[in-house]
Copies of this chain bind each other. A is one copy, B any other.
Amino acid sequence: MNTLPIDDIMHAIGVQARRASARMATASTSEKALALQTLADLLRQQAPALQAENAKDVERARTGGLAEPMVDRLKLTAKVLETAAQGCEQLAKMPDIIGEIIGLRQQPSGIRVGQMRVPIGVFGMIYESRPNVTIEAASLAIKSGNAAILRGGSEAIESNKALAALVRQALAAAGLPEDGVQLVPTTDREAVGRLIAMPEYVDVIIPRGGRGLIERISAGAKVPVIKHLDGICHTYVDDPCDIAMAVTIADNAKTQKYSPCNATETLLVARGVSEAFLPEIAAIYAAKGVQMRVTPEGRPLVSRVDGAEVQDATEEDWRTEYLAPIISIKIVEGLDEAIAHINTYGSHHTDAIVTNDHRHAQRFLREVDSASVMVNASTRFADGFEYGLGAEIGISTDKFHARGPVGVEGLTSLKYVVLGDGEIRR
């Protein structure tokens, strides 16, 4: 099939994406809703056919010796497909932010100046294993009026091709260009190198995967990259605070799920509440098998708990994203030390304070330099759905352009609109 050199394939995809992007940008709200609803319908109707293609990937992965948890992530189960269909339907119903004009105000010259929200143009998405990301990315492209070029993992290629075919069908049914969302049809690694170096066709790259993938892409990209590196998130238990609330939040932030990037990895505890707080939370962590790596001052408060697995914390612990039942714990003097620790060792992802002090809360919000800063809530809330974005294409730890969970808005830009009545510059 793909006998063309990679350069020619990627060039053709780029030209088609750029051409399709003009039409995608002017798609009406109802055209986009029709495409999304059709896609949802197709995902349900074609579930057996999709699963047949998916079975090929799963079979190949097993034969190839992929670990079973990884094989699981590949599977297009009935539940995965239904969730994807519902995601499309939810997006279809969300307000359309494309074309909205904000801040239109008259200037002394008489012109009225505002900003209109428009699609970025073409985004490239690079991801691994889970084939349902194909639908998430395609539906966000449709809703945001962008064209997209998708590069999924080689292990999911048959599933992705089958899903991408449905996306084309849905676009066509709504009168939108089939090339509005294209899947790179080859698993050749060179294709990624080309995709990230075509500024004439691609406006932004969104990689989703491990740190290695993201660093490789950032280093080689000739276009902006919406990056998500580590999630070294902190929960700071302030003095004064509601101890019961602090225990509930510190428990949830660490143990509700260990693998997400927004799970808390370091617990900072104000000295004044450490005696009341630490034994309580340590009992919960001990019961759940969470290993605690603690500074010397905190050890006695934690070690006295039955079954607690305790180690000394090292400098390295403050820089580590465990994604596992491990937490580092440090007793701090108070707010200043907590903020300094977070800004020094954190990854600018998500950090929370549990406090009863209004001024402490305000200072924490203002001074902690992270994409999400929280008061009296679990860091696990840092998520596009929980934030009401309707969908999430990634979480950005950059400060430039999109910061934090990236939904439809992160795939848009604001251009200036000027409405005059014959005004000229004096």
| Interfacial residues, chain A to chain B (CB-CB below 8 A) | 22, 25-26, 99, 105, 107, 109, 111, 113, 116, 118, 120-121, 203-204, 224, 242, 245, 248-249, 251-253, 256, 343, 352, 365-367, 369-378, 380-382, 386-388, 399-401, 403-405, 413-425
Q: Which residue of B lies closest to A405 (CB)?
A: B416
Which chain B residues border A381 with CB–CB below 8 Å? Answer: 109, 111, 418, 420, 423, 425
- Return the 6 tightest CB-CB contacts between A and B, nearest first: A377-B420, A252-B424, A380-B425, A374-B418, A245-B422, A372-B416
A420 to B25 alpha-carbon distance, docked (Å):
37
Q: Are B376 and A420 in contact (CB under 8 A)?
A: yes
A413 in complex: contacting residue of B26, B378, B400, CB < 8 Å: B400
A234 to chain B minimum Cβ distance, whole angstroms, is 14
Q: Are A367 and B26 in contact (CB under 8 A)?
A: yes
Q: Are B377 and A415 in contact (CB under 8 A)?
A: no
A378 in complex: contacting residue of B367, B371, B400, B423, CB < 8 Å: B423
Q: Are B419 and A224 in contact (CB under 8 A)?
A: no
A369 to B23 alpha-carbon distance, docked (Å):
12
A415 in complex: contacting residue of B372, B378, B415, B418, CB < 8 Å: B372
Q: Are A424 and B376 in contact (CB under 8 A)?
A: no
Q: Which residue of B lies closest to A260 (CB)?
A: B425
Which chain B residues border A366 with CB–CB below 8 Å? Answer: 25-26, 99, 116, 118
Q: Are A422 and B111 in contact (CB under 8 A)?
A: no
A116 to B326 alpha-carbon distance, docked (Å):
32
Main secondary structure of the interface of A (DSSP, over half): mixed
Q: Are B372 and A424 in contact (CB under 8 A)?
A: no
A201 to chain B minimum Cβ distance, whole angstroms, is 14
Q: Which residue of B lies closest to A257 (CB)?
A: B425
Q: Are A413 and B422 in contact (CB under 8 A)?
A: no
A388 in complex: contacting residue of B105, B121, B378, CB < 8 Å: B105
Which chain B residues border A399 with CB–CB below 8 Å? Answer: 120-121, 203, 413
A129 to chain B minimum Cβ distance, whole angstroms, is 24
Q: Which residue of B lies closest to A413 (CB)?
A: B399
Q: Are A113 and B388 in contact (CB under 8 A)?
A: yes
A111 to B417 alpha-carbon distance, docked (Å):
35
Given A372-B416, A373-B415, A413-B400: A422 touches B249 (CB 8 Å cut-off):
yes
Q: Are B116 and A418 in contact (CB under 8 A)?
A: no
Q: Are A248 and B367 in contact (CB under 8 A)?
A: no
Q: Are A224 and B400 in contact (CB under 8 A)?
A: yes
With most chain B CB atoms within 10 A of its CB, the pick from A256, A343, A417, A424 is: A424
A391 to chain B minimum Cβ distance, whole angstroms, is 15
A418 in complex: contacting residue of B25, B26, B372, CB < 8 Å: B372
Q: Which residue of B lies closest to A21 (CB)?
A: B369
Q: Which residue of B lies closest to A340 (CB)?
A: B22
A253 to B425 alpha-carbon distance, docked (Å):
8
A19 to chain B minimum Cβ distance, whole angstroms, is 11
Q: Are A367 and B422 in contact (CB under 8 A)?
A: no
A386 to chain B minimum Cβ distance, whole angstroms, is 6
Q: Are B387 and A425 in contact (CB under 8 A)?
A: no
A59 to B421 alpha-carbon distance, docked (Å):
48
A22 to B245 alpha-carbon distance, docked (Å):
30
Which chain B residues border A248 with CB–CB below 8 Å? Answer: 422, 424
Which chain B residues border A25 with CB–CB below 8 Å? Answer: 366-367, 369
Which chain B residues border A109 with CB–CB below 8 Å? Answer: 381, 386
A105 to B390 alpha-carbon distance, docked (Å):
14
List 10 contacting pairs A-B, 8 Å CB cutoff, sorted by A: A22-B343, A105-B388, A107-B386, A107-B387, A111-B374, A373-B417, A375-B417, A377-B419, A377-B424, A401-B401
Q: Which residue of B lies closest to A252 (CB)?
A: B424
- Please give 14 more A-B residue pairs, beta carbons under 8 A apart, in addition to A118-B369, A121-B399: A111-B374, A120-B399, A203-B400, A256-B424, A352-B418, A371-B416, A372-B415, A374-B417, A376-B419, A376-B422, A377-B422, A378-B424, A382-B416, A399-B413
